[in-house]
Amino acid sequence: METIRHLNPDRHTNGELSTVYDPQSGVFQALSSGFLCVDQSTAFFAEWKRAVQDVHSAGLAVTALVDLSDSTAQSPEVVEIIINTTRGLYRPGDAIAMMVPTSIAKIQMRRALDPEYHEFFVSRFAAESWLRERDADRAVPMMRRAAGLYH
């Protein structure tokens, strides 16, 4: 397992981005909380992009559970970083379940992210169910369970 973690250096905000992922299975579990700054987001998403590309280079699809439930709506600059970093990054077979805290965050993320690879949920159960369904369609659920994505 590998970890990517970036805290917001501004002591007046509480933003954090972190990911644990297994490059041998393509399973990612990410957490974002609070309000994110531009430098923090730029650094995190550069590492996220590299990790996704490494998984793809190994011939694997990405399965990610991204928990934004403790996050807030982000600045337009941070949303632009997300759009620019992830545009064209994913490929057929990838599945990213996004757990969001509010309808505003859901709308913001829907505008920013490719609906072919992303789906949005308010419950962890629904997000994991969607990922399991996608994995069943791709016939790779045993590898994902072994990597600890599903409970």
Per-residue pLDDT tens digits for 27-42: 999 999 888 889 889 9
Average pLDDT of the segment spanning 9-38: 83
- Cβ atoms 51, 23 nearer than 8 A: yes
Name which of 29, 42, 123 is nearest 80 in CA terms. Answer: 42
**What φ, ψ does residue 68 adopt, rounded to 5°?**
-105, 15
pLDDT at 137 over 90: no
Name which of 92, 29, 95, 33 is nearest 65 in CA terms. Answer: 29
Total domain count for the chain?
A: 1
Domain of 87 in residue numbering reads as 2-146
Q: Is residue 74 part of a domain?
A: yes
Distance CA(94)–CA(108), nearest Å, equals 21
Q: Is residue 12 part of a domain?
A: yes
Q: Is residue 38 part of a domain?
A: yes
| pTM (predicted TM-score) | 0.81
pLDDT at 67 over 90: yes
Q: Is residue 34 part of a domain?
A: yes
pLDDT at 145 over 50: no
Q: Is residue 125 part of a domain?
A: yes
Q: Is residue 151 part of a domain?
A: no
CATH assignment of the domain containing 126? 3.30.750.24
Q: How confident is the model at residue 151 (pLDDT cuts 50, 70, 90)?
A: very low
